[in-house]
């Protein structure tokens, strides 16, 4: 996956993501495709969760899945989830759950809870940082605010937050943490492996496609972000969809993607 | 870009046990194809995984938050798919990361 939150030049941020999904052993040599990726594409759907006739939040989801991987609460916040490959899994969480400790959260239900219970960015941030999780594979939460130009990567272990990267903490404008944050599937403080480096191509695209205001602030358009996420290897054979999130409008524009065998 | 997905509504004013029935009935073929694919892949990894999950998860699912258990039951009811399969699909991030 690749998730990006970037300044939009209008005082806010745009949030976008590529959702990559595949499974080890899942390559179909006959058709030269990843079979789970192919199976998931037709089951993609945008869901408006409605209460009292009003949309509370909107998600880009798969039919049959009640949790959240990509969602927005209008004007308040948006959230995307990236799998974290860097760290050994929290096997102990699953074992504890099987042995009867049921207080920890499963990922999909935790993220759904955030949208059910939180009406602002701070609440969502606290919830995602503090909840105990049943994680087998730790996770990156990429969170954006609809009220302030805030974008944040929260690097989660089962019990703790191991790292946070926020827009504005980095001076070098070619790096994540400057006027944008960009997260793939590896810890921000470590280099990604050479065989799966989507970070540096993504950073290069962000630099090349950004605009520069008179004030010296960089920003990017929705179309620019879409181009970043359409560039290989950020777009790859495991990419199921690309979502562009307009937090103020509460709209997720989702595109089913395909990337042919090289 | 291949296409843009449809948009559906889930009415949170309905009891959780009813929320997903209509949607999962309309998309039961897609859901069956996806879940069959997930099960086939799990079988490739280890043929003991699916029988274990199908046997244990419905009981273990009762320990998950009740609203979400009911929502998964409503998906099972609408699509005609086994409840254990729906639970598996909903915890597959953790299950398959393992």
Q: How confident is the model at residue A29 (pLDDT cuts 50, 70, 90)?
A: confident
A123 is catalytic: no
Predicted local confidence at residue A39, as pLDDT:
85
List the single residue in B with minimal CA-CA distance to A243: B4
Strands of A89-194 (E only): list them.
139-145, 151-156, 161-166, 180-183
As a whole number, the mean pLDDT across chain A is 91
Residue A55, pLDDT above cutoff 70: yes
Closest CA–CA distance from residue B19 to any residue of chain A (Å): 10
CB contact under 8 A, A25 and B44: yes
pLDDT digits (tens, 9 = 90+) for A160-204: 899 999 999 999 999 999 999 999 999 999 999 999 999 999 999
Say how many CA atoms lie within 13 Å of A222 toward its Cβ: 12
Closest CA–CA distance from residue B96 to any residue of chain A (Å): 8
Residue A24, pLDDT above cutoff 70: no
CB contact under 8 A, B94 and A112: no
Which distant-in-sequence residues (6+ apart) come within 8 Å of A83 by Cβ? A1, A137, A139, A140, A185, B93, B97
> What does the block give as tokens for A85?
């490959």
Quote the DSSP letter at residue A45. Answer: E
List the single residue in B with minimal CA-CA distance to A257: B1
Alpha carbons B97 and B93: distance in angstroms, whole number = 6
Residue A137, pLDDT above cutoff 90: no
pLDDT digits (tens, 9 = 90+) for A75-131: 999 999 998 876 665 567 767 777 777 767 788 899 999 999 999 999 999 999 988
> Average pLDDT by consecutive 10-residue portion of chain B (98 residues)?
94 98 94 86 77 76 88 96 88 68
CB contact under 8 A, B86 and A256: no
Predicted local confidence at residue A90, as pLDDT:
58
Neighbours of A11 (CB within 10 A): 9
Query: In the predicted model, what is the mean pLDDT of residues A17-45?
Result: 86
Alpha carbons A67 and A59: distance in angstroms, whole number = 9
Q: Which residue has the higher pLDDT, B53 or A20?
A: A20
């Amino acid at each position: 996956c690749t998730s990006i939150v970037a300044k939009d030049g209008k005082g806010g941020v745009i949030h976008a993501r590529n959702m990559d999904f595949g499974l080890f052993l899942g390559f179909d040599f006959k058709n030269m495709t990843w079979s789970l990726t192919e199976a998931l594409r037709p089951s993609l759907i945008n869901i408006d969760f409605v209460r009292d006739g009003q949309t509370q939040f909107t998600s880009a989801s798969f039919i049959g899945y009640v949790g959240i991987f990509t969602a927005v609460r209008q004007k308040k916040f948006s959230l995307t989830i990236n799998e974290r490959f860097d760290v050994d899994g929290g096997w102990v969480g699953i074992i504890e759950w099987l042995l009867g400790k049921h207080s920890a959260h499963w990922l999909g239900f935790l993220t759904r809870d955030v949208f059910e219970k939180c009406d602002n960015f701070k609440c969502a941030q606290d919830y995602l940082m503090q909840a105990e999780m049943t994680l087998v594979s730790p996770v990156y939460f990429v969170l954006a605010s609809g009220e302030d130009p805030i974008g944040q990567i929260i690097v989660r272990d089962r019990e703790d937050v191991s790292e946070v990267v926020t827009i504005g903490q980095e001076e070098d404008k070619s790096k994540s943490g400057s006027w944008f944050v960009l997260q793939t599937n590896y810890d921000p403080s470590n280099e990604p492996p050479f065989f799966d480096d989507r970070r540096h191509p993504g950073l290069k695209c962000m630099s090349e496609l950004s605009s520069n205001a008179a004030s010296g602030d960089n920003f990017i358009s929705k179309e620019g972000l879409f181009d970043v996420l359409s560039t290989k290897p950020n777009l790859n054979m495991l990419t199921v969809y690309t979502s562009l999130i307009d937090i103020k409008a509460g709209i997720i524009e989702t595109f089913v993607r395909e990337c042919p065998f090289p | 870009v291949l296409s843009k997905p449809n948009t559906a509504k889930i009415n949170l004013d309905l009891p959780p046990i009813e929320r997903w029935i209509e949607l999962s009935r309309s998309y039961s073929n897609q859901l069956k194809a996806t879940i069959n694919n997930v099960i086939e892949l799990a079988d490739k990894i280890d043929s003991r995984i699916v029988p274990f999950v199908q046997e244990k998860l419905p009981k273990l699912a009762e320990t998950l938050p009740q609203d979400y258990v009911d929502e998964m039951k409503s998906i099972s009811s609408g699509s005609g798919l086994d409840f254990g399969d729906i639970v598996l699909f909903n915890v597959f991030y953790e299950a398959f990361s393992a």
